[in-house]
Each structure stands twice: as structure tokens, then as C-alpha cells.
Amino acid sequence: MPNFVRRVPEGDTFERAVCVQCGFVDYENPKIVVGSVVAHHSQVLLCRRAIEPRRGFWTLPAGYMELGETTGEGALREAWEEAEARIVLEGLLACYSIARIGQVQLIYRAQFAGEPQFSAGPESLEVALFSWDQIPWNELAFPSVHWALQAWHISDGAPLGAPFSNPGLDHHPNFRPMDDSP
């Protein structure tokens, strides 16, 4: 049975879990979350979570990307799994890098493929369309849901440019923006 210790492997700069017998390095990398803001006539689709974390709170149809799928395929799958909704992706709306929980979140702007049809999947208690003023802001599961909804609202259906990113005050404590000074 392997025995791992935490140390900085030769040629590396970060402490890692390293097998003392064979030197195998067990890299721990961020998880990729994919999802979408699905809109229909100025309303957005939200899912009330049936699982932890944040059971009972509202979120976008989103979840962890699986091996063997693209980010877009993952977003389509998550919309089906959580909301039993068939959707069409319009483009990448936002990319959030959340170091404190080891996640990179890619959120697409989307619409229904045809007339809106949806129902709660196994990870959702209920699913509903909300107009902007009906969104249960105090019951949103995660800060990134709030950010993505704000990004969707700001984009207002216009052609998508560069994706939105973390609000300026949400960077990791060790984050230092690059500057041009020597």
C-alpha cells in the first residue's frame, strides 16, 4: 500500500503528496464546474438544490465536468440532469476562478431548444423560471450564481465578448495583479 508524504518534489515549487516508495506525485488540481444561465423572455431557469452543499437553496443548472466531454457538452448534460431541460448554448458568459474551493467555473449563456420544458431532476427539489425582480436573491446557493446572474443581466442578450470574471474584491488573498513596472 502506498505511503504518501507532503513535500516539494524535485523541480517543483509546490508542496505535493509524494509516494515514499516510488516517488509518484499525486497532483491535486482544481475541479472544473460547467453550467448555464438559461433564459426565456427575460426569465432565467433556477433549480432548488436537493443535495448538499446548500440543500434547499437556488442555483443554476451546473455541476462538475466529466472526463471525455467538452465544457459545452457538460453544460448541456447538467441542464438535463438538474432541470430535464434541452438547451442551446449561445456562448461563454463567464469564467470564475475560485481558489479558496479549488474550482474553475465556466458558465454559458443559453436558451431552451424549442418551447421551454423542464422539471426537477434527481439533484433538484424544484425548478422554475424567474423574472429579474422575482429572483430569490437571499436564497441563492453560491456567490458565483449571483455573479453569473448579474453578468447575464448586464449582457442583456447582446453579442457576447470576453467572458465576465471574478468581481475585483473576490481574488485569492495571495493574488497580485501583474503590472508593467520592473
Q: Is 155 helix (H, G, I), strand (E, B) or coil?
A: helix
pLDDT at site 73: 97
Query: How would you write the pLDDT of the chain (182 residues) with one tens digit per residue?
Result: 779 999 999 999 999 999 999 999 999 899 999 999 999 999 999 999 999 999 999 999 999 999 999 999 999 999 999 999 999 999 999 999 999 999 999 999 999 999 999 999 999 999 999 999 999 999 999 999 999 999 999 999 898 988 999 887 565 555 444 443 33
What does the pLDDT read at residue 174?
A: 52
Whole-angstrom distance, CA of residue 102 vs CA of residue 126 = 28
Task: Determine the Cα–Cα distance for residues 107 and 113; give it in Å rounded to an integer.
Answer: 18
Q: What is the pTM of this model?
A: 0.85
Q: In angstroms, rounded to a whole number, what is the distance separating the alpha carbons of residues 134 and 16?
A: 46
**Helix (H, G, I), strand (E, B), or coil: what is residue 116?**
coil
What residue spans define the domains of the chain? Answer: 31-157
Report the pLDDT value the prediction gives residue 179, as an integer from 0 to 100. Answer: 41
Which pLDDT score, from 0 to 100, does residue 172 have? Answer: 54
CATH topology of domain 31-157: Nucleoside Triphosphate Pyrophosphohydrolase (3.90.79)
Q: Give dist(CA 5, CA 2) in Å, integer.
A: 10
